[in-house]
Structure 1
């Protein structure tokens, strides 16, 4: 089984978005061919309400899906379809914007002054860009949490893993979204479909991701399934490190002295042109211009099956 080479390790950029929210932008815009079908990942982690309470007031989306995963605090959401509600710690919302939706997302603190969560943007294929909008709100208690014998824990949001299936369904790119926690000084391997694009984002602890490509100064011993010991290179990773992988069938990771927690996300690349401005992502510039014209003239929102 082939080990995935590591193409790059990077850190997020701090940006201001929404109405003044301080965000760690893990990737976006310049990464579309590498992370396809995923467009952007934001890590929202702040213990100062001044930097997250302004939130994301009313704004449109078309042509994408947004995945909001709350770890601490909450998000109040409201939209042009009349939906409204609150996401709490551990909850997930998978929103398919499709033909168009206007909504707002307003973070709030939990038991302490902290808000912590993620938002991932996933592209829609051209044939589904104008599909009807829909939501999948998944409470924390419905997300499978799988604990292995060594104490490793996986929260399975979508896709199939270790004989379980995540609660989010009907996603065009058949993605897999995992929240993985590994105890201190533990080695694990995780299978990934060969032709999927995949990335890992570390948000707690540290460790090493092993690389199946050419030798590197940091060496480690890796025991294959046949019991043969191979020397392969090992990349150290810290909190807030993004690891982008090349093609392969599995990743191999070793946690550090304080354990390791990371998102592991993979999906089928669309390999389609991307025309992107702000909250709208289409395939051509003409489609993008039309979307903004419709937003300005009041025809942005479509009736079902229009």
Structure 2
């Protein structure tokens, strides 16, 4: 009887320092050219600083079309406002899941002038048939995502469902077309973790503290790993423990054409988005 092989590390990526919005300093873990290999994910940013000058400018009003944004706060407070009248205060442990669809214009502005602000923003693509759906927004506080104790650590499930040690753990975000799985996993030193992840999902790991081993390879803090297709996930934390994001999703296999905050399937659709924004029609 054959034993199923664990997923292997096939690519390691170190993020690059950049800035976005009104001068917010951040690390772009991945994004831009070559996004197809992360399908259905388009971009992951990590922001984190206790210097107000690094984040105080925030992200003033700007448009999006064709995908979803997920903002997960570890520390600090950020206010979301959009043209639909939605308003949400992101606080430590909270998550904002925004579906830009055919168009949304929003801002994300710090609600503090000192102290640490730290978190992540993930962009999730939408299939062609969903890109022009009405925009929507969901704001969820930290208590919507309880940490679950597991052997050797704890985890929270933001999106999707995970089977761990005979338990089914489900996050509040479900029934998305890309079947996203979004886990924040904290492991104590030298602890093993394994979980079954459906073979049809692409899997990424981002280590934001400590380090982990994946078979005979390793990922250090601030490194993203792209894993092989098929098989369960099996990792082990290093001597300092580890904190990492597990991201999995169903690849769309569709053309990705991006121009700034617009992600569509063709150049013509991008040009239409630009016209719609210029003429005040993007957000309907």
TM, length-normalised to structure 2: 0.94
Which of 8, 17, 26 is residue 23 of structure 1 equivalent to? 26
Q: CA deviation at 1:105?
A: 0.5
Residue matched to 1:155:
156
> CA separation in 2, counterparts of 1:49 and 1:171?
35
Which of 89, 95, 107 is residue 92 of structure 1 equivalent to? 95
Runs of 4+ in 1 over 4 A off after TM superposition: none
Q: CA deviation at 1:33?
A: 1.6
The answer to which of 263-272 and 161-170 deviates more is 161-170
What SS class does the counterpart of residue 193 from structure 2 fall into? strand
Residue matched to 2:282:
300
Residue matched to 2:135:
133
Q: CA deviation at 1:300?
A: 1.3
1:46 aligns with 2:49: yes
Q: Is the 8 A contact 1:5 1:248 kept in 2?
A: no
Q: CA deviation at 1:207?
A: 2.7
> CA separation in 1, counterparts of 2:136 and 2:39?
22
Which of 65, 70, 74 is residue 73 of structure 2 equivalent to? 70
What SS class does the counterpart of residue 274 from structure 2 fall into? helix
Q: CA deviation at 1:13?
A: 0.4
1:3 aligns with 2:6: yes
What SS class does the counterpart of residue 177 from structure 2 fall into? coil
Q: Is the 8 A contact 2:8 2:214 kept in 1?
A: no
> CA separation in 1, counterparts of 2:110 and 2:15?
20
Aligned residues: 277
Residue matched to 2:248:
266
CA displacement 1:127-155 (0-9 Å, x = unmatched)? 0001011112111101132111x232110
TM, length-normalised to structure 1: 0.88
> CA separation in 1, counterparts of 2:120 and 2:111?
14
Residue matched to 1:188:
193
Match runs of 1:178-217 below 5 Å: 178-210=183-215
> CA separation in 2, counterparts of 1:108 and 1:257?
36
> CA separation in 2, counterparts of 1:279 and 1:97?
10
CA RMSD of aligned residues (A): 1.3
What SS class does the counterpart of residue 36 from structure 2 fall into? helix
> CA separation in 2, counterparts of 1:11 and 1:118?
15
Q: Is the 8 A contact 1:63 1:129 kept in 2?
A: yes
Task: Answer with 1 or 2: which has the greater Rg.
Answer: 1
Residue matched to 2:236:
254
CA displacement 1:58-81 (0-9 Å, x = unmatched)? 100000100000000011111000
> CA separation in 1, counterparts of 2:218 and 2:231?
21
Q: CA deviation at 1:109?
A: 4.2
